Amino acid sequence: MYAIARSGGKQFKIQPDGVIRVPSLSSNVGEKVKLEEILLVADGDKIQVGTPLVDGAYAEAVVVRHGKDKKIKIIKYKRRKDYRRTLGHRQSFTELEIGKIVLGAVKARKVEEAKKQDKAEQAPVAQAAPDKAVKAKPAAAAKKAADADKPVKAKPAPAAKKAVDADKAAKAKKPAAAAKKAGDADKTAKAKKPAAAKKAVDAAKDAKAKKPAVAKKAAPAAKKAGDADKGAKAKKPAAKKAEKAAKKAGEPGDADKA
């Protein structure tokens, strides 16, 4: 018989009267310890595999001693940098002696008993369901009988229905034809109005075209009048020069003053 137990994040194969070393525990020497994290239990042909643990299985053990493993050397080195470091480490452990391994059969029996009780409770519910179905059948039959007793409404004759539909169609066509004629008359009236407006616009354009011709005729006359004014203005500087020459001639010179 053996089992797979987990302690300190590591898994160990344990057997009755066997000794294992697990990561350091806080228990004192001689104390009893229970390993409850059992992942697998094998007893001959019977193998129980947990999901992830086996329900109800555990192992009893006794603390034998606490100790340290062999020293591990840690060496750090970087070439051409004058860097060397040497460290040591000794991992602590607790030595356990396994007593007995208890299977998870007790809890499994409780689970089976609970399942049986659930089945026994569900059986009366299943018997009550057919009774409800039997009671529902008479109600359905009574409803059908009531529907049969109701008077059947007489359906209108097909010929009368067709005549009514024809009258409705004729009434619907008359307003549509009258509305269509009125719409056509409005469209023709609107089409005539733009023609009159177009004639008025053309007349205004012709009047504007005649005005520039009159303005062109008046332009040469104005130009001649402007040229005559410029000639008169040009003659004025000549008169001014003559007056200045006469003044100079009339003034006495230096010899005359003496």
- The pLDDT tens digits for 163-217 are 677 777 767 666 556 667 766 766 766 655 555 667 777 777 776 666 555 555 5
- The pLDDT tens digits for 53-111 are 999 999 999 999 999 999 999 999 999 999 999 999 999 999 999 999 998 755 555 66
pTM of the model: 0.41
Q: Residue written as tokens 């009755």?
A: 16
Please answer whether residues 68 and 92 qualify as being in contact, where contact means their C-beta atoms are separated by less than 8 angstroms: yes
Q: Residue written as tokens 């209108």?
A: 156
Residue 104, both tokens: 């998870």
Residue 114 — pLDDT band, cuts 50, 70, 90?
confident
Does residue 218 come out as left (phi exceeding 0), alpha (psi in the -120 to 50 range) or beta?
alpha
